[in-house]
Amino acid sequence: ADLRELFTAIFDPAGCRPDKSLEQWCVQRNRESQSRKALNSKHQKMRIGFSSDWGGLPVQREVRHQMQVCAQQLAENGAEIIEGFPKLSEMRQAFLTLRGLFFVAELGGLYRTHRDQLKDTVVWNIEQGLKLTAAEIAHAEKLRSAARRQLEDYMQSHSLEALVGPTNQVLPFDLETAYVSEIDGTRLETYVDWLASNFIFSVAGLPAISLPAGFARPSPQQLPLPVGLQVVGPWAGDDALMNTAEQIESMLAPLNAPFSFPDPSA
């Protein structure tokens, strides 16, 4: 709800009209919010695409399990769950190419003058970008466009309001660990591969919202850790996505009930 108000305040052209006071705008927004809450409380039937691993990405077992719990919770609240996800095998390369290009554009000057003061991962990204050819950049842009069409076609052909799956591929880890290099026995090639569950949608340009999705334990002896559910909407469908996410958030509320952590000093 807060995100919607911020989004509307920024983009609602009616809010900028000189004949409309701030008070009038706030009253109108409050009415719309109350109407939306009443509509969402009915949990209208939704068709949601679901994948516990976004088409085969390495995802920690406990996260995959919690995604299944979420899917069951949504189904019990009336949502129609459609399992599956299109294969986006070349999205990783498109992301790495465009990321390298971005780093050269933003930090190339610092690399030339202060390379020794840059973080090693920043240097790696810049040097990957410097190696790129025009043909490789053009190919990455074609892959970006193709991925957007593929995802939109998939959602339209299945009449889906959103796609849902894990926000992160792993549970939260120790802050001293810079990045994840392995997931359930699968070795990752680069330091950003554990973020693929996010960047595949960033490259495609689709809006996404992450919601609390309960908790999971890395082992029976460890405390439960938070898990996130990523809700992805169609291109330029930010407003509709917020409606869908608001309904999903209310459906998942029982999974996010607060609990007490044991006192470490006891």
Whether residue 71 lies inside any domain: the answer is: yes
The domain that holds 221 is classified in CATH as 3.90.1300.10
Query: Is 8 among the domain residues?
Result: no
Is residue 145, in this structure, part of any structural domain at all? Answer: no
Which pLDDT tens digit goes with each residue over 78-92?
999 999 999 888 899
Centre a 10 Å sphere on the Cβ of residue 192 and count the other Cβ atoms it contains. Answer: 19
Q: Indicate whether 216 belongs to any domain.
A: yes
Region of residue 205 (left: phi > 0; alpha: psi -120 to 50; beta: else)? left
Q: Is residue 35 part of a domain?
A: no
How many domains does the structure of the chain reveal?
1
Q: Which two tokens stand for residue 55?
A: 């088409």
Residue 32 lies in a domain: no
Whole-structure pTM value: 0.85
Question: Does residue 48 lie within any of the structural domains?
Answer: yes
Q: Give the pLDDT confidence of 220-259 residue by residue, as tens digits.
A: 888 899 999 999 999 989 989 999 999 999 999 999 987 7
The residue segments making up the domain with residue 162 are: 43-86+153-256
pLDDT digits (tens, 9 = 90+) for 18-72: 556 666 656 666 666 665 555 555 556 899 999 999 999 999 999 999 999 999 9
The answer for residues whose C-beta is within 8 angstroms of residue 15's C-beta and 6 or more apart is 8, 9, 25
